Homo-oligomer: A and B are copies of this chain.
Amino acid sequence: MTKPAPAGRQAVPAPPGGHGETAAETGAPARLRIGEAAQRTGVSERTLRYYEEIGILAPAGHSAGGCREYGQLELERVQRIRELQELIGLNLEEIRGVVTREDRLGTLRDAYHQSEDPSERRALVLEALEMTEALHERVATKVVRITDFRDELAGLIGRYREVLDGLDAVPV
């Protein structure tokens, strides 16, 4: 990581497209190489390669020479991964479970899969639904706990302020 980058909540800036030739013109959805992809997402290049290595993030494609290329989808996926990792506290193994299930579901939307066995498609959606519900449950619990904790801190701050006022009332 060369530049820490506020790590805040700015959305991943879409790949360039300076004036008019965004994607609809070129057909190619504006790909980034690993260096810039790393900068935009705020992770290291090594991290992107590692994510690929363990199978949670594949580049959108490769250049003729073999350089990884990432599109908007992949950048957002990195954000998703980081969110699950830092915010929820999942490890990459658990994250793999989440994203692969989402991927399998994503293939459903592709037209050439519409012909598949309907009951199997139902099973896929159901599986994704159940996993999402489990994740939601987990997150909801965490929201409650962390909210409580925040309020405790607020109370603590109030008491500190009182003590401080008490001390100020009796100056040196």
- A129: which of B121, B142, B161 is its contact (CB, 8 Å)? B161
Shortest CB–CB separation between residue A106 and chain B, in angstroms?
12
Q: Which residues of B contact A156 (CB under 8 A)?
A: 132
Query: A-side interface residues toward B, CB under 8 Å?
Result: 9, 83, 86-89, 118-119, 121-122, 125-126, 128-129, 132-133, 135-136, 139-140, 142-143, 145-147, 149-150, 153-154, 156-157, 160-161, 163-164, 167-168, 170, 172
Q: Can you list 26 residue pairs at the A/B interface with Cβ under 8 Å?
A: A87-B142, A87-B146, A87-B149, A88-B146, A88-B149, A118-B170, A118-B172, A121-B167, A125-B160, A125-B167, A128-B160, A129-B160, A129-B161, A132-B153, A132-B156, A133-B157, A135-B153, A136-B153, A136-B154, A136-B157, A139-B149, A140-B150, A143-B143, A143-B146, A143-B150, A146-B146
